[in-house]
Structures are given as structure tokens and as C-alpha cells.
Amino acid sequence: MTGALVSGPPLATGEARAAATGEAPASPGPPAASLEQNETPPAGEQEAQGEKPASGGAHWEVGIGLSVISYPDYVGSDQRQTWPLPFPYVVYESQRVKVEQGTVTGALPLTDRLRFDLSAGGALPVESDKNHARRGMDDLDATGEIGPSLKYDFYRAESGRHTVTGELPLRATIGVAFDDIRYVGLISTPNIEYRYEQEVDDGRWNVRLSTGPMLTDGRYNNYFYGVPTRDVLPDRPAYNADGGYGGWRTSAGFSRRWNDYWFGAFVRYINLDGAVFENSPLVRTRTYLIGGLGVAWIFAHSDDD
């Protein structure tokens, strides 16, 4: 599964993982704290950095970590937050399936290069009374995202160190509150990713770079950027958002695994110029920057068996 954070503001949960995994959060969703993921705040999309599974066997790792992320309240907000977030570090790798960084790889291989994976992400809630643009409006609930992702490896070096992959994810977003669960909309973040991995004596280096557009439907955009008549103010006119282009996202991240410890960091930039909702009164800035880092201790792995 890929975290968080697809088209739309990134998710805090996903971003935390991004920091934790060295991958820029996976899923955009307006609560700016998303960990694409992918998509991804540091909280923990973990990445398998231990030994590869032996033939017929599987490799797993379990740990716990702490990440810190700095992010706007939502994509388009001019107010920021910084949070420390604990996260679980979990890795599983068999001959056919690999679970890392919130991504299930090889879930449904179609060819040697083409496959369907499972993508997931999430975002932290936003208290509207603490955000000037949203004052008096309903709070934004925590959201979860899940859906299929079609991936194609355009390039794979024989050494396995360099990979260029195209991804086309589609996620359904659900808002979750204590007393309510509701469908929010659809989000997609097609992207091209370059990945470099280097095995070293005491672990592994991992570097990722990705870029691509964010696409969301009208229901999703209205959840984050719509202004109903009841919430109109002199400086906040009514607004109904259409679906379509939601901005351009560029992410970078790296991680280093050594012995029983792991460290990762990421940064993600989103430009909202040309987004279908850019004229919403809730969009106070058209640039978005989120970053974070995380560290984890791996206290158990399959090699202990």
C-alpha cells in the first residue's frame, strides 16, 4: 500500500511515514499533513532494508520509531503546524509479495514490468476554529484512502540499484469522526519515480525522487475547498469546486538503514497554479511545502527465528 497522501493536500499520517521511510508522503489530501502514501509526515511508510528472503522463505522486520513533520493545515492553507509522531516500523517480504512504506508490491503481477499494487494513505483532522480561513466552518475529519495502483517499470538496471517507475493510483477517500463515517471523494496522483538503492556492509541506502500531477473529483474538492451558503462571510464568498487538475507535486526523500536502526527524511513541494479550486477563498497560498524526518529502532526480525 502506498500512503498518502494522491491528489489533494497531503495527509499527516502519510507524511509521517514518508519521513519514516525516506519517501515523500504518498497521498495528497488536503489536510496538509499527509504521509502518497506515499504516498507517506514522518509516521511510517516503512521500507524493507534487511536481507532478502531466502528461496521459499519470507523476511519480516518489526520496530518502533518517532518522526517530526512540519506542514500547513491543508494544501492551500497559510498556517502551519509541527508535530512529533510515533510510528510502527513493519516490513514483510516474500518471493511474491513485498510490504514496505505502506505499499503492497507484487500483489497482482500482470507482466515482468507491469503490476497492480494496493495503495493507501490518510490525513490528520483540521480544527476549523484554529484556522483563520475556515473559522466557523465544519472541522475537517481525519481521512483514510485506499485503492488500486497500476505500476510499470520503464527502466531497471541489471544491478538493481536504479529503477524508473510510472504509477497510476486511484483511491477512494473516507472521512472518519467519532460519530460519523462518510465518503469524501476520489483522488489520483499519477507520477514518475526514480529510485536508487545501494546495499552496504551494515545496511542500505535508499533515495527516491518523484513528480506528477494531482487529480481529484468535485466531491473531494468541495470537501476541502467548497464554501456553502451557510458559511459565507464578507471575506469568504460561496464557492463550489469542480473536479480536475489539483496541482503539481514533486517529492524527494532518502533513508539509511544500519544494523538495527533506521533514519529517513523527506520534502514535498506542491504548486497549485492552474488547479480547478485555486480561486477558492480557502486557498490562501498556491505553494505548499512539507518536510519531516524520522528514526526507528528495529527490535525483531525474521533472522532471530
Q: In the chain, where are the structural domains located? A: 12-304
Inter-residue contact 220 to 173 (CB < 8 Å):
yes
Inter-residue contact 117 to 2 (CB < 8 Å):
yes
Inter-residue contact 282 to 136 (CB < 8 Å):
no
pLDDT at 103: 62
pLDDT at 102: 57
Decide if pLDDT at 36 tops 90: no
Residue listed under C-alpha cell 533515495? 207
Instruction: Count Cβ atoms within 10 A of the Cβ of residue 158 and give its class: 0-12 exposed, 13-18 middle, 19 or more buried.
Output: exposed
The architecture of the domain spanning 12-304 is: Beta Barrel (2.40)
**pLDDT band at 107, cuts 50/70/90?**
low
Segment 154-177 mean pLDDT = 94
Residue of 74, 68, 75 lying closest to 41 (CA atoms): 68
Distance, in Å, from the CA atom of 113 to the CA atom of 64, rounded to the nearest integer, reads 33
Distance, in Å, from the CA atom of 147 to the CA atom of 103, rounded to the nearest integer, reads 11
In three-state secondary structure terms, 88 is: strand
Beta strands in 94-157 (DSSP E): 98-100, 103-109, 114-123, 142-156
Residue of 121, 169, 156 lying closest to 3 (CA atoms): 121
Q: Of all residues in the chain, what percent carry a pLDDT higher than 70?
A: 78
For the ranges 93-97, 213-217, 280-284, the lowest mean pLDDT is seen at 93-97
* Amino acid making up residue 304: D
Indicate the pTM of the whole model: 0.80
Residue listed under C-alpha cell 497482482? 108
**pLDDT band at 97, cuts 50/70/90?**
confident
Other CB atoms within 10 Å distance of the CB of residue 282: 21
Per the prediction, the chain carries an average pLDDT of 82
Q: In degrees rounded to 5, what are phi and psi of residue 274?
A: 90, -5
Decide if pLDDT at 201 tops 70: yes
Other CB atoms within 10 Å distance of the CB of residue 295: 17
Residue of 69, 80, 124 lying closest to 291 (CA atoms): 69
Strands 59-72 and 103-109: unpaired
pLDDT at 98: 74
